[in-house]
């Protein structure tokens, strides 16, 4: 007997069969994210000879990295971020920031009322961040490029967008402060501070060393489990608290809004590390080796950043708070 229409329909593959036997309709997130990195779906990453530099590079630094699982496409971002969702979320955040800057900086001209010592603090801690955050942006872009699956690469790409947004807002604040206090030349000495100020050098060293990382798993640990969370604990969380103590509501609100991006990065980073360990327990040792290599740089970043905050009236041990945040992230990720 030939198969019935019902049997044929039952055995027919759906358009989403590449996701496996889900037993359900895939989510929008899965449909637009699954296996979208064409360099991971063929024997050779690129349509070139196996000995070409690009293929050798991807094979060595991505496919043969110490941290591996059978199928990275099984990872899921806890926020299930898609391009459409990202734009919707960030549009709301940007609307809020626009209103804050317009209300405080433009209408109230709040920047003109800051005490001289706090203006010194903004020149020392806020406006030089443009250089540091641009470094975080470049390293996130590399992670997005070298990631072993589109679920990971997309999350890193959205993180890259977060850092770009942050650079733009820092540049905007620099100009507003420059217009409010032309005698101080806000923005003119930022690069010099970044390159020469003693307490910035821990952050500079850590961020610039991420540029030299090649293996994708080390790039992930270095940036997302050490350097970025350490930097953000000091220069977003710590600085926003200090700004509020100085009556600087505009910068406190701006930094707190940017902190939400950092928290989203921490969520998918914890989830990815846990996924890697659950899929292959030996990955814990590889991730811990990377963490051990990078943690001293994170501690140096925190020490310098905390000393910078302490110059302008911090009344708590910001270093202990930041190190605790870093310890918690590593523990929750399963590698601490």
Q: Which CATH superfamily is domain 72-333 in?
A: Ribonucleotide Reductase, subunit A (1.10.620.20)
What pLDDT, on the 0 to 100 scale, is given for residue 10?
55
pLDDT, tens only, 289-319: 999 999 999 999 999 999 999 999 876 788 9
pLDDT, tens only, 322-334: 999 999 999 999 9
What pLDDT, on the 0 to 100 scale, is given for residue 106?
73
pLDDT band at residue 1, thresholds of 50, 70 and 90?
very low
What is the C-alpha separation between 305 and 40, in angstroms, rounded? 39
- The ranges assigned to domains in the chain are 72-333
% the chain with pLDDT above 90: 81
Q: Which distant-in-sequence residues (6+ apart) come within 8 Å of 330 by Cβ?
A: 225, 291, 336
pLDDT, tens only, 124-163: 999 999 999 999 999 999 999 999 999 999 999 999 999 9
pLDDT band at residue 14, thresholds of 50, 70 and 90?
low
Query: Which residue from 192, 270, 257 is spatially nearest to 224, judged by alpha carbons?
Result: 270
Q: Counting beta carbons within 10 angstroms of the beta carbon of residue 322, is it exposed (0 to 12), middle (13 to 18) or buried (19 or more)?
A: buried
> pTM for the complete prediction?
0.92
What is the b/e burial string over 198-232, where b = at least 16 CB atoms within 10 angstroms of the residue's CB? Answer: ebbebbbebbeebeebebbbbbbbbbbbbbbbbbb
What pLDDT, on the 0 to 100 scale, is given for residue 7?
47
The structure tokens listed for 261 are: 């991006």
CA distances to 39, 40, 145, 182 from 43, in Å: 9, 8, 18, 59
What is the C-alpha separation between 108 and 100, in angstroms, rounded? 11
Query: Which residue from 157, 138, 137 is spatially nearest to 147, judged by alpha carbons?
Result: 157
pLDDT, tens only, 227-248: 999 999 999 999 999 999 999 9
What is the C-alpha separation between 164 and 137, in angstroms, rounded? 6
């Amino acid at each position: 007997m030939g198969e019935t229409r019902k049997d044929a329909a039952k055995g027919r593959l759906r358009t989403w069969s590449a996701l496996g036997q889900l037993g359900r309709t895939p989510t929008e997130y899965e449909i637009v994210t699954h296996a979208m990195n064409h360099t991971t779906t063929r024997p050779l990453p690129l349509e070139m000879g196996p000995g070409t530099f690009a293929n050798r590079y991807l094979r060595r630094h991505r496919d043969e990295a110490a941290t591996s699982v059978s199928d990275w496409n099984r990872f899921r971002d806890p926020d299930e971020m898609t391009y459409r969702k990202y734009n919707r979320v960030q549009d709301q955040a940007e609307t809020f920031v626009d209103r804050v800057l317009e209300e405080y900086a433009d209408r109230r001209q709040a920047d003109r009322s800051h005490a001289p010592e706090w203006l010194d603090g903004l020149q020392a801690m806020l406006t030089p961040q443009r250089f540091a955050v641009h470094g975080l942006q470049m390293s996130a872009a590399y992670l997005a490029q070298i990631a072993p699956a589109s679920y990971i690469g997309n999350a890193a790409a959205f993180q890259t967008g977060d850092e770009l947004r942050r650079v733009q807002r820092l540049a905007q604040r620099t100009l507003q402060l420059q217009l409010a206090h032309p005698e101080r030349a806000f923005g003119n000495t930022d690069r010099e501070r970044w390159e020469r100020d003693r307490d910035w050098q821990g952050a500079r060293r850590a961020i610039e060393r991420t540029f030299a990382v090649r293996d994708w798993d080390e790039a992930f640990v270095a940036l997302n489990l050490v350097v970025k969370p350490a930097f953000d604990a000091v220069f977003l969380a710590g600085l926003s608290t200090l700004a509020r103590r100085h009556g600087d509501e505009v910068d406190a609100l701006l930094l707190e809004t940017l902190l939400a991006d950092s928290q989203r990065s921490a969520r998918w980073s914890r989830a990815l590390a846990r996924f890697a360990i659950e899929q292959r327990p030996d990955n814990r040792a590889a991730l811990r080796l990377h963490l051990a290599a990078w943690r001293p740089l994170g501690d140096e970043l925190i020490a310098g950043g905390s000393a910078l905050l302490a110059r302008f009236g911090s009344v708590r041990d910001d270093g202990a708070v930041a190190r605790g945040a870093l310890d918690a992230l590593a523990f929750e990720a399963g590698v601490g």
